[in-house]
């Protein structure tokens, strides 16, 4: 299975909004609403920020939101803060009853 495609890097100034895309196929992102987004700071385990395309776990800031259109899912971070600087990965359930991660996006707060 091929990794989902994400931009290598996205940057923004504090207070701005940024959007990270995650492109798959009809066999994964487009076919299921089991798309999740993970935040990973250096040396730390990933943390789920969005699940089920657009749901936030308890404790995750409402500055994080998710959506999906066709085979592409998106993560938007609004009101960008220094603490949001991290790597972000999308993940999707697939038609093969497996999971696949995205290639990862490094978010830089300017």
Partner 1 sequence: QLQLQESGPGLVKPSETLSLTCIVSGGSISSSDHFWGWIRQPPGKGLEWIGNIYYSGSTYYNPSLKSRVTISVDRSKNQFSLELSSVTPADTAVYYCANYAWGRADYWGQGTLVTVSS
Whether the CB-CB separation of 6 and 103 falls below 8 Å is answered with yes
User: Least distance from C-beta 16 to partner 1, angstroms?
Assistant: 25
Whether the CB-CB separation of 64 and 77 falls below 8 Å is answered with yes
Is the alpha carbon torsion for 58, 64, 69, 70 positive or negative?
negative
Per CB under 8 A, which region of 14-22, 45-53, 63-71, 72-80 contacts partner 1?
Answer: 45-53
Neighbours of 39 (CB within 10 A): 22
Per CB under 8 A, which region of 15-23, 39-47, 63-71, 76-84 contacts partner 1?
Answer: 39-47
Binding to partner 1, residues 57-76 (CB under 8 A): 57
How many residues lie near partner 1 (CB under 8 A)? Answer: 27
Contacts with 44 (C-beta within 8 Å, 6 or more apart), sequence order: none
Strands 72-77 and 18-23: antiparallel
* Chosen residue from 11, 14, 26, 52 binding partner 1 by CB under 8 A: 52
User: Least distance from C-beta 15 to partner 1, angstroms?
Assistant: 29
Q: Where on the chain is the footprint of partner 1 (CB under 8 A)? A: 1, 3, 32, 34-36, 38, 40, 45-48, 51-52, 57, 89, 91, 93, 96-104
């Amino acid at each position: 299975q091929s990794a989902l495609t994400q931009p290598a890097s996205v940057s923004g100034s504090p207070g701005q909004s940024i959007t990270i895309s995650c492109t798959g196929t009809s066999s994964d992102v487009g076919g299921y609403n089991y798309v999740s987004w993970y935040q990973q700071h250096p040396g730390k385990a990933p943390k789920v920020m969005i699940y089920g395309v657009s749901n936030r776990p308890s404790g995750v800031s409402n500055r994080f939101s998710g959506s999906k259109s066709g085979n592409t899912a998106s993560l938007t971070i609004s009101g960008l803060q220094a603490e949001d600087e991290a790597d972000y990965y999308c993940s999707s359930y697939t038609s093969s009853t497996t999971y696949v991660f995205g290639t990862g996006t490094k978010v830089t707060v300017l």
